[in-house]
Structure 1
Amino acid sequence: MDYSKKRWSILIAACFINLCVGSMYAWSVFAAPMAAHLGQLNGIHLTPADLAIVFVVGNSVGPITMITGGKINDTFGPKVVIFVGGLMFGGGMFLSGLATTVDSLIVTYGLVLGLGLGMVYGSTISTSIKFFPDKRGLVGGLTTALFGISSVVIPPIAAAITAEMGVVAAFKIIGAAFTIIVCGSAFFIHKCPDGFKPAGWTPSKTQASVQSNDKDWKEMLRSPTFYVLICLLMCGAVAGLMCIALASPLAQRMIGMSTAAATAAVSTLALFNVCGRILAGWLSDKIGRINTLTAACALSIIGLYLLYLAGIGEVTTFYVGISIIGVCFGAFMGVFPGLTADQFGVKNNSVNFGIMFSGFAVAGYTGPTIMRNVFGATHSFKDAFLIGIVFCVAGLILTYIFRIITKKSKANELAASQ
C-alpha cells in the first residue's frame, strides 16, 4: 500500500472523527433542558449547576483511556481502538437520553462517553502524527483544531434538535449518528508502519534523531524533560481554561454585555482557539515547538493583563484580550502532540501523549477553580487574571529550563559518541 498518498485520506478521516467527538463540549446546550427533564421526572428542583459534575467527570476520565487505549493502539493499530471508542462515545450519548437520575447521567455521559472520547481522541492524533513526520506541527494543529471547532459547529445543531424534539430525542439522535460516523470512519484509519517516511522526504539530522529516539512510558518518566513539559502544559493551559469555562459570565459581569452579546464572545474565543491550533502547529514546523510555546506564554500575559484592565463597557479591550487567550490556548493544544513525539519518539506516542495530557486535566481543574474561588472571595474575577499571569511567567521560565536540559543532553550525547 502506498501510504505516502494514503496518509492524506487517513488524516481527513481522523479530522472528521475528531469533529464528531468534540461534540462533548455541546454539554452547555444540554444542561438546562436536561436539568428540567430530570427534575420533572423525580419531582425535585434541579439547575444546570447541579449537573456540572456530569461534565467534570466526562472531562476528567479521558486521560485514562488515552493511556490504556494508546497501548492497544501502539501494539495492534488504531482501527479497533477508534471503533470501540466510537461505540462508547456514541452509545454514552444515546444512553444519556434514557437517563432518569443525575447518577445515571454521570455514568452515561460522564463515564461511558468520556472514556470513549479518550480512546478516540488519543488514537486519531497519535496516528496522524506518525504518518506525517515531515509536518508534525501542522497535522497536530489540524487534528486538534477539528476537535475544537466542534464546540462552534455542534451546539447550534444540538440546540435546534432540542428545541424541536426535546433533549431526550437530541441525545438519542446525535448519539446514534455519531456512533455510525465514528465507527464507520474507523475503517479508513490504518496503523502506521514502523519507520515510515513519506516519498521524497529526507529527514534533517534533528528529524532523523527523533525517528530513532523511541522511548516507552517508563523511559519517558525517567527523563527530566518529561516533568518540565508536563508542568509547561499545565501552566500554559490554565489561562485558557480559566476563560473558556466562564467566558459568558465574564462578558456579562465584567463588561456588562447582554446574554446574546456574551454568547458572541464565547464563539469568538472558540474561533480564535481553533485558529491558534492550526497557526501555531504550522509555525512550530518553521521556528520550532519550544519557540512557539515561548511566544504563546508571553502573549498570554498580555491577554490576561488586558482582561484585568477591562471594565464595564470596555468591549474592545475585552475582545482583544479574550482573542489573544484563545490563540495561545490553541497553540498549546496544537503544538504539544508533535512536541511529545519529538522528545520521546513516535513508536509509543499514543501512551506517552496520553500520560502527558494528564497535565491538561490538572489545568482543567485548576483554572476554573481559581476563577470560582477568587470570585467567591472578592465578588470580582480581576485578581484571578493576575494569578493566571503568574502561571504564564512560570511557563516562560519552564521553556528556558527545557532549552538548558536539551542543550546539556545533546552535549552529553556528543561526548559519548566521541
Structure 2
Amino acid sequence: MVTSTIETFGQIDIVVNNAGAIIVSISTLSNFVGRLSFGVIYDKFGSYIALLINLIMTMSALLLMTVATNMPFFIFCILMLGFSFGGLLVVFPPLTSQTFGPKNLGMNYAIVFLGYSGGAFVGPRIASYFKETTGPFTTAYISAAILTAIGIVLVGLILYMNKKKQQSQDSVN
C-alpha cells in the first residue's frame, strides 16, 4: 500500500508540493539500509524475533503517520516504513527455509511471496478507497496497522508454541 502511493501520501496528507521524488528516494534508501540491517538482526536474534521487530516497526510507523503534520515527521515515518519493508524481504526467505526445510525452497518461497504480491495488488486499491471515502489516508494507515497487529499476534503465538514444544522436548530428554 505504502510503496506504490508514498508520493501521493505526502502530497495529500502533508501538502508537500513537488517533493515526490525526494520522498521516494528517501524511502528507497531506507529500504536499502533495512535490507542490510535486518540481515544482521536476523543472524543475531533469529527468524521470528527479527520478524517481530520488523512488524512492530511497521505498525509504529503506520500509526505515527496518522499524526504526521509536517515534512520532517513525515520523512521520519517514511524512513521507518522503508527500513522495515526492506527488512521484511530479507527475513522471509530464510524463515521459509527454516519453516518448510530447504527442499523445494524456491517453490515454497514463491508461495509465501504470493502474500506480498496480493498485498501489492490490493493495498493501493484499499488506500484509494479510503482516500475517496474519508478524505486523508488516515483510515488506510490505521487499517494497515491493524493488519500488522494481527501479524504481531500470530508471530507471538508461533513463538509461544515453539517455546512450549521445546520445553516438552527438553522434559522428554
- Give 1:413 shift: 5.2
- Give 1:396 shift: 1.2
Q: What SS does the corresponding residue of 2:66 show, helix, strand or coil? A: helix
Q: Answer yes or no: is 1:290 the counterpart of 2:61.
A: no
Match of 2:111 among 355, 380, 383: 355
C-alpha change, 1:409 and 1:352, in structure 2 (3 Å) is farther
Match of 2:155 among 399, 405, 415: 399
Match of 1:410 in 2: 166
Q: 1:300, 1:389 within 8 Å by CA — same for their partners in 2?
A: yes
Q: 2: CA distance between counterparts of 1:254 and 1:265?
A: 13
Match of 2:12 in 1: 253
Counterparts of 1:13-412 in structure 2, within 5 Å, are: 242-259=1-18, 261-311=19-69, 314-411=70-167
- Give 1:273 shift: 1.1
1:346-369 deviation digits (Å, cap 9, x = unpaired): 122111111111111222123212
Q: 2: CA distance between counterparts of 1:391 and 1:358?
A: 17
Matched length = 173
Q: 1: CA distance between counterparts of 2:112 and 2:168?
A: 25
Q: What SS does the corresponding residue of 1:380 show, helix, strand or coil? A: coil
Q: What TM-score does the superposition give when structure 1 sets the normalisation length?
A: 0.39
Q: 1: CA distance between counterparts of 2:157 and 2:36?
A: 26
Q: 1: CA distance between counterparts of 2:156 and 2:62?
A: 21
- Give 1:411 shift: 4.7
Q: 1: CA distance between counterparts of 2:134 and 2:168?
A: 51
1:294-341 deviation digits (Å, cap 9, x = unpaired): 111212222112211123xx0011000011011111111111101111
Q: 2: CA distance between counterparts of 1:410 and 1:340?
A: 20
Q: Which residue identity does 1:406 align to in structure 2?
A: N
C-alpha change, 1:337 and 1:249, in structure 2 (3 Å) is same
Q: 1:306, 1:320 within 8 Å by CA — same for their partners in 2?
A: no
- Give 1:387 shift: 0.9
- Give 1:250 shift: 1.1
C-alpha change, 1:322 and 1:288, in structure 2 (3 Å) is same
Q: 1:273, 1:328 within 8 Å by CA — same for their partners in 2?
A: yes
C-alpha change, 1:411 and 1:366, in structure 2 (3 Å) is farther
Q: 1:289, 1:335 within 8 Å by CA — same for their partners in 2?
A: yes
- Give 1:269 shift: 0.6
Q: What SS does the corresponding residue of 2:3 show, helix, strand or coil? A: helix
Q: What SS does the corresponding residue of 1:275 show, helix, strand or coil? A: helix
Q: 2: CA distance between counterparts of 1:290 and 1:413?
A: 20
State the superposition RMSD in angstroms.
1.7
Bigger CA radius of gyration: 1
For structure 1, list consecutive stretches of 5 or more residues without a partner in the other structure: 1-241
Taking only the aligned residue pairs, the percentage that are identical comes to: 27
Q: 2: CA distance between counterparts of 1:346 and 1:334?
A: 16
- Give 1:414 shift: 5.5
* Structure 1 moving runs of 4+ over 3 Å: 408-415
Q: What SS does the corresponding residue of 2:127 show, helix, strand or coil? A: helix
Task: Work out which structure has the larger RCO, using CA pairs closer than 8 Å and 6 or more positions apart in sequence.
Answer: 2
- Give 1:344 shift: 1.8
